[in-house]
Every structure is written in C-alpha cells, then in structure tokens.
Amino acid sequence: MPRWDNDERDDDEWDDEESAGDELEPPDDEGVTIACPYCGEPIYEDSERCPHCERYISTEDAPSTKKPWWVLAGAAAGLYAIYRLIAG
C-alpha cells in the first residue's frame, strides 16, 4: 500500500520554498558547552578532557606524570640492600 496517492504528492513537482525551514536543529538536551581554557574550542561542561587539544581540563582529572621522590628513593634503597646481600 503506497504512503501517498499519486494525486497528493508528485515527486516531479518539488518545491524548495516549502522545505527551506526544515533544516535540522541541534537538540537542546545535549548539555551546556563552555570554551576550553587551552584552545578555546567549545566542549561539554562535564568533560574531563578536551577532544580538540586533548588536554585535561583540571589537574584533578589528569593522571600523575611524576612519581614522588620518596618512591624512587625507596626503590633505589631496596635495590641497593638486595645488591649488598647478594654481593656479600
């Protein structure tokens, strides 16, 4: 069963003026956007990382880049102690 009768809708008679206002608009429920503090591109307010410049928005979200000095000093002291036990 056809959706339209041939009399009601004819594909040869396309009217551009009728479809001028039929453009899609973005939905309102996608969330609030803010400017990225580093590159200025719009990002969602609850984003942890900018999809454009790939930088973390806050330092709390960013992974730690350096180990604390006491972890490195403890590992070095432990390796030295094992070396002294083996070497005698």
What is the domain partition of the chain in residue ranges?
28-62
pLDDT at position 60, please?
80
- Enter the tokens of residue 23: 């453009």
Q: Which residues pair with 43 in a beta bridge?
A: 34
Per-residue pLDDT of 21-80, as tens digits, reads 555 555 555 678 899 999 999 999 888 899 999 898 888 877 777 778 898 899 999 999
The dihedral sign for the CA sequence 58, 64, 69, 70: positive
Mean pLDDT of 1-13: 57
Decide: residue 50, CB within 10 A, 0-12 exposed, 13-18 middle, 19+ buried: buried
Paired tokens of 59: 């330092």
